[in-house]
Each structure stands twice: as structure tokens, then as C-alpha cells.
């Protein structure tokens, strides 16, 4: 089958969908190839994008400006990124939230991820009106997809692209193959690659990031995202971008999607004692509310794991007064019948959860150095007694001593929301070669080009990865359409 269009887009995740709509709104004919049988990609597992100076924020009297957010972001990454690319993204982000609203996307508001973050996370209101949670952004994807269809965009689902065509130094098309094995050849003037990274390709993860799933990183593998867009770009001379894992600190993966474990683990995500296997404290535990920073802390520990500790006295206090940190995804958690529920988890996942009637027994079960743990707890309890942490200077509000007769531990590991980078672009999102020269007719968007964090996800401005996807998708679609419609 041979078809033609002005713009071809590879993949229909949030970046590809927004690229399709923006290109079509600019007057281009658009074809999208998607390997799955639905659209949305990993955004179907998310909750909403970043934005600053949106109508929603202005209505809430937010005083965060795009200039202030930009400076906060650039200081965070020490300017170790393409400053102009980040500027283009940030300056577009508020208008993109408005653009999505005008399409019909509803947001519950601009929220914080945790107390110390900014309210930049525009969480999508599910179409059924339920409380937002994991997969809330599926509703956004459906709305954008509907808008694309209204604009005449043609989608080929279950039709993975496998090659980008290039003639006389310019991109000129895409080869794909549908579910029946028939080859589909698209001849077009511009191509946008938005395939979402390589988080399902365990070999690429090991080669380019040094992590191994199931060994030193856990959770959130999308087996359908294997770096095929990155490979296609490399094959026609595109340069390799900086590649990393979008790491997050948390418990080890147990029972893929075990919500009971996730809800109960919120108690362990509080600012209580956290030690490594040697029995030593590793940080001011309140810092670990930022799970991307928590991943860095865990990455520095032996075996890349920590042990979050609780005892019955702390559980009783939480039951009486509530927990300081809740989860924006799961909620405030539930610690009713904590001991009974935890015991069931420990039986299901004996390598991840531990309970004992003494610290000595807990250390033996968890594999933590007993002598050091006892000394650490004694030192920590002394700090609680004098209301001052001389080791890490933790806020006095979180200094709760271990005085109970029942103790609990949960292992904290590194998880990966996804991967970042692989395709090198300039600030205009044009894919460049090894000499930093643009490849005419080729743009990148979303996680394939996202190397803006300098290794640590910017959770202080939450919603960034999805925000980067929808904004760079929108920008790439606009620029690809302009190029295609003006090409001689």
C-alpha cells in the first residue's frame, strides 16, 4: 500500500497525538503510525502534564511565573541542558493547557506532587467524574485523538513503522507494516518521531544506563516501547542524545500493581528512620518525599536498597493524628488494622516486608547489620528526646522515637517511570547529525528527545515528562507542518 501526506508521525502517545493535531490545525495532511491497537502510550498510565501561567493557575491566583519556574528548573539542572529548548517548552506550557481545555480536556486543577513542590501538575479529570488516580490522563488522550480525527488525521493502528526514508539528504517518508503483514509506504515531506523512549528494551537500558531490571531497578516497564524510533533515527545518521532512566525511589516491585501494598507503603514513605543494609542512616528522611531525589539516595547505597522502618508507637500516632505526607496518586493511605494487613504482605512478599517483636529480630530477618542498627536507633531516639537531629538536621516535626514493642521494615528500591533521551535535537527540535547539522524534514518529540533533567527528574515542578511530551509534540507538529507546506 502506498499513501501520501504532508506530515508523517511515528507513534500516537501524547507527543504524537499533539503533533498530529497541531500539524493538522496548521493545514497539513497528517498520517500517524502506531504499533499498539490504541492511542496514548505511557500517558495512559499518568495523571496530567506540567504547565505554568495557564488559565487554571491564574484563576487560582498562582503567583508562579514562567520566568520564575524556568529559573528554578535551570538552577536545578545547573544549566546542563539545552537552555533554549527548555525555554521554548516552558513558554508554551501554559498556552498548551488552555489549548487542551479548549479541545474539551477537563482538569481538576493545578496541583502539587508533595508539600515542597510547586502547583504545576495539571491533573486530568477522568471522563466518568471519579477521583483522579493512575491512568487519569487516558481521558486527555481520548479527547486529543477525537480532535485529530475531526481534523482529518489518518491513524494506522497496529502498524509499526520500521524505517524512515531519506533521499538527497532529506527525509521523504516512512515504511511501516500492518497487522496482516502488508507493507505501508508513506511518502511525505516531514516526519515527527515520538516513540516514547526505550523502557521496554532491557538490553538498551543495560547498555546505555547501566541499570538492569529485576537486579538494581524495578517497576514501570512498558514492554511495547523498545527504542524503535531511536534506532530508525540513528540508522539515517541522527546523532545519539544523552540517555538515562527516569528514576524514582520506592519499594521493590511486588505483585505488579498490588494496590494493597502500595496503599500500606505510604506509611513507610513518611519522614521516619531509613537505613542501609549496614544499619546506618542515609539522609534527612523528609527529603525522600521527592521520589526522584530518593532514587539518587538509594543509588548510593550498598546493593542499591534501603530499609524504611516503623514501629507500633508511630503507627498509633499516625492513626490518631494522620500522616504528614500523602500520595497524590493513591491518597492518604490506610493504616487500619496495620499489623494484620502488614503480616499478610510479609507472607506474600517475604523478601520485601519484615516484622518482628524486637529490633534484633528485625535486623536478622531483613539482613541489616544488627550492632549498627541498634546504635543508630539509640542515637536517633536520643535526637528525638532532645528534639534536635545533629546528624542530618531533620525538621523537628518529623522526629518520632522508636519506643514500641513491634517493629516493621520495608525495602526501598529504585523504580523507573520510563527512559529519557536517545535522539539528539537542537532547540527547534530538528533532529541533528553528529556534526550538529539538522536533518531536513525530521523532528523529534517527547521522551525520545528528553534529556533536560541532567539525570534527576524535576519533581519540584511536577508533571514535567508528560508536559514535555505534549508541548514538544505540539511544537514539532507546528514546525513540521510549516516546513512541509512551504517546501518547494
Determine how β-strand 154-156 pairs with β-strand 161-167: unpaired
Which residue, 412, 429, 414, 409, is CA-closest to 469?
A: 429
The answer on 456 and 360 residing in a single domain is no
Q: pLDDT > 70: what percent of the chain?
A: 95
Contact status, residue 264 vs residue 270, Cβ threshold 8 Å: no
Indicate if the pLDDT at residue 254 is higher than 60.
Answer: no
The answer on 441 and 387 residing in a single domain is no
The C-alpha atoms of residue 74 and residue 93 are separated, in whole angstroms, by 16
Indicate if the pLDDT at residue 331 is higher than 70.
Answer: no
For 92-146, how does the pLDDT look when each residue is reduced to its tens digit (9 = 90+)?
A: 999 999 999 999 999 999 999 888 899 999 999 998 888 787 788 999 999 999 9
The answer on 470 and 403 residing in a single domain is no
Q: What is the CATH number of the domain that holds 134?
A: 3.50.50.60
The C-alpha atoms of residue 95 and residue 74 are separated, in whole angstroms, by 21
Sign of torsion over alpha carbons 100, 101, 107, 109: positive
The parent domain of residue 209 ranges over 2-243+421-485
Per-residue DSSP letters for 263-320? HHGGGGGSS--EE-TTS-B-S-GGGGGSHHHHHHHHHTSGGG-EEEEEEHHHHHHHHH
Q: Among 16-20, 246-250, 363-367, 467-471, whose mean pLDDT is lowest?
A: 246-250
The answer on 363 and 314 residing in a single domain is yes
Indicate if the pLDDT at residue 332 is higher than 90.
Answer: no
**440 grid coordinates:** 531536513
Domain boundary among 415, 439, 465: 415
* Res 266: pLDDT: 82
Angle in degrees, CA 23, 28, 33, rounded to 5 = 70
Angle in degrees, CA 335, 339, 340, rounded to 5 = 100
Domains held by the chain: number? 2
* Res 59: pLDDT: 95
The answer on 364 and 426 residing in a single domain is no
For 420-474, how does the pLDDT look when each residue is reduced to its tens digit (9 = 90+)?
A: 999 999 999 999 999 999 999 999 999 999 999 988 999 999 999 999 999 999 9
Indicate if the pLDDT at residue 221 is higher than 90.
Answer: no
What residues are paired with 111 via a beta bridge? 121
CA distances from 439 to 89, 108, 268, 375 (A): 21, 41, 49, 61
The answer on 257 and 220 residing in a single domain is no
3-state SS class at 240 = strand
Which residue, 475, 465, 456, is CA-closest to 49?
A: 465
CA 151, 152, 154, 157: dihedral to nearest 10 degrees?
50
Q: How many CA atoms lie within 13 A of 404 on its CB side?
A: 17
Indicate if the pLDDT at residue 235 is higher than 60.
Answer: yes
Q: What is the CATH number of the domain that holds 355?
A: 3.90.700.10
Angle in degrees, CA 148, 151, 156, rounded to 5 = 50
Which one-letter DSSP state was computed for residue 189?
S
Which residue, 83, 58, 35, 152, is CA-closest to 452?
A: 83
Domain boundary among 364, 394, 415: 415
Indicate if the pLDDT at residue 330 is higher than 70.
Answer: no
Q: Read off the pLDDT of each residue in 160-178 and give the average, rounded to a whole number.
A: 97
The answer on 64 and 192 residing in a single domain is yes
For 57-92, how does the pLDDT look when each residue is reduced to its tens digit (9 = 90+)?
A: 999 999 999 999 999 999 999 999 999 999 999 999
The C-alpha atoms of residue 191 and residue 443 are separated, in whole angstroms, by 6
229: confidence class by pLDDT, cuts 50, 70, 90 = very high
3-state SS class at 125 = coil
The answer on 463 and 406 residing in a single domain is no
For residue 432, what are the contacts with CB-CB under 8 A and spacing of at least 6? 238, 239, 424, 425, 426, 438, 439
Please give the order of strands across the beta sheet that includes 154-156.
Answer: 154-156, 30-33, 7-10, 190-193, 438-444, 430-432
Q: pLDDT > 90: what percent of the chain?
A: 80
CB atoms under 10 Å from CB of 371, counted, come to: 10
The answer on 198 and 294 residing in a single domain is no
3-state SS class at 104 = coil
3-state SS class at 78 = coil
3-state SS class at 360 = helix
Which residue, 377, 381, 333, is CA-closest to 358?
A: 377
The answer on 480 and 387 residing in a single domain is no
Task: Please state the pTM of the whole predicted model.
Answer: 0.93
The C-alpha atoms of residue 29 and residue 16 are separated, in whole angstroms, by 14
* Res 481: pLDDT: 98
The answer on 302 and 236 residing in a single domain is no
The answer on 426 and 291 residing in a single domain is no
* Res 327: pLDDT: 66
Per-residue DSSP letters for 1-65? -EEE-SEEEE--SHHHHHHHHHHHHTT--EEEE-SSSSS-GGGGG----B-SS-HHHHHTT----
Q: Provide the terminal-to-terminal Cα distance of the chain, rounded to the nearest Å.
A: 26
The C-alpha atoms of residue 455 and residue 86 are separated, in whole angstroms, by 15
Domain boundary among 415, 444, 468: 415
For residue 9, what are the contacts with CB-CB under 8 A and spacing of at least 6? 16, 19, 20, 23, 30, 31, 32, 33, 191, 192, 194, 477
CA 51, 246, 114, 91: dihedral to nearest 10 degrees?
-20
For 372-399, how does the pLDDT look when each residue is reduced to its tens digit (9 = 90+)?
A: 999 999 999 999 999 999 999 999 999 9
For residue 68, what are the contacts with CB-CB under 8 A and spacing of at least 6? none
Indicate if the pLDDT at residue 326 is higher than 80.
Answer: no
CA distances from 69 to 72, 73, 119, 212, 458 (A): 5, 6, 11, 34, 11
Angle between helix axes 138-150 and 14-25 (nearest 10 degrees) is: 30
Amino acid at each position: 500500500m502506498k499513501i501520501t501526506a504532508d506530515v508523517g508521525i511515528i507513534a500516537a502517545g501524547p507527543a504524537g497525538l499533539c503533533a498530529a493535531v497541531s500539524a493538522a490545525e496548521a493545514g497539513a495532511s497528517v498520517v500517524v503510525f502506531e504499533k499498539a491497537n490504541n492511542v496514548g502510550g505511557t500517558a495512559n498510565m499518568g495523571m496530567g502534564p506540567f504547565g505554568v501561567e495557564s488559565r487554571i493557575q491564574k484563576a487560582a491566583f498562582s503567583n508562579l511565573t514562567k520566568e520564575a519556574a524556568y529559573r528554578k528548573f535551570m538552577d536545578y539542572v545547573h544549566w546542563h541542558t539545552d537552555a533554549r529548548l527548555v525555554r521554548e517548552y516552558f513558554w508554551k506550557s501554559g498556552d498548551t493547557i488552555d489549548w487542551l481545555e479548549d479541545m474539551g480536556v477537563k482538569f481538576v486543577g493545578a496541583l502539587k506532587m508533595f508539600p515542597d513542590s510547586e502547583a504545576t501538575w495539571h491533573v486530568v479529570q477522568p471522563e466518568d467524574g471519579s477521583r483522579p488516580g493512575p491512568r487519569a490522563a487516558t481521558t486527555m488522550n481520548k479527547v486529543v485523538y477525537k480532535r485529530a480525527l475531526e481534523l482529518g488525521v489518518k491513524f494506522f493502528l497496529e502498524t509499526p513503522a520500521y524505517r524512515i526514508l531519506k533521499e538527497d539528504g532529506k527525509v521523504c517518508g516512512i515504511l511501516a507494516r500492518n497487522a496482516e503483514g502488508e507493507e505501508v509506504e508513506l511518502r511525505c515531506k516531514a516526519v515527527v518521531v515520538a516513540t516514547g523512549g526505550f523502557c521496554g528494551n532491557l538490553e538498551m537500558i543495560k547498555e546505555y544506563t547501566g541499570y538492569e531490571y529485576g537486579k538494581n531497578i524495578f517497576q514501570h516497564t512498558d514492554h511495547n516501547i523498545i527504542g524503535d524510533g531511536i534506532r530508525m533515527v540513528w540508522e539515517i545518521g541522527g546523532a545519539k542524545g544523552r540517555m538515562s532512566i527516569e528514576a524514582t525511589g520506592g519499594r521493590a516491585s511486588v505483585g505488579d500493581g498490588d494496590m494493597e501494598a502500595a496503599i500500606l507503603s505510604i506509611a513507610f514513605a513518611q519522614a521516619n528512620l531509613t537505613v542501609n543494609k549496614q544499619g546506618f542512616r542515609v539522609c534527612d528522611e523528609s527529603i525522600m518525599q521527592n521520589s526522584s531525589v530518593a532514587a539518587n539516595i538509594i543509588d548510593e547505597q550498598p546493593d542499591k536498597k534501603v530499609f524504611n522502618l516503623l514501629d507500633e508507637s508511630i503507627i498509633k500516632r499516625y492513626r490518631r493524628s494522620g500522616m504528614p505526607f500523602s500520595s497524590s496518586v493513591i491518597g492518604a493511605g490506610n493504616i487500619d488494622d496495620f499489623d494484620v494487613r502488614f503480616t499478610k504482605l510479609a507472607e506474600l512478599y517475604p523478601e520485601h516486608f519484615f516484622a518482628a517483636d524486637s529490633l534484633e529480630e528485625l535486623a536478622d530477618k531483613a539482613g541489616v547489620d544488627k550492632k549498627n542498627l541498634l546504635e543508630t536507633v539509640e542515637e536517633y531516639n536520643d535526637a528525638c528526646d532532645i528534639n534536635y537531629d545533629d546528624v542530618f538536621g531533620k525538621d523537628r516535626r518529623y522526629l518520632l522515637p522508636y519506643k514500641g514493642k513491634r517493629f516493621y521494615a520495608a525495602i526501598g528500591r529504585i523504580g523507573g517511570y520510563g527512559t529519557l533521551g536517545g535522539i539528539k535535537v537542537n532547540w527547534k527540535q530538528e533532529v541533528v547529525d553528529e556534526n550538529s547539522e539538522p536533518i531536513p524534514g525530521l523532528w523529534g518529540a517527547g521522551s525520545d528527545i528528553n534529556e533536560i533533567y541532567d539525570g534527576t527528574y524535576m519533581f519540584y515542578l511536577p508533571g514535567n515528562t508528560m508536559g514535555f511530551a505534549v508541548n514538544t509534540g505540539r511544537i514539532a507538529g507546528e514546525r513540521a507542518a510549516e516546513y512541509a507546506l512551504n517546501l518547494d
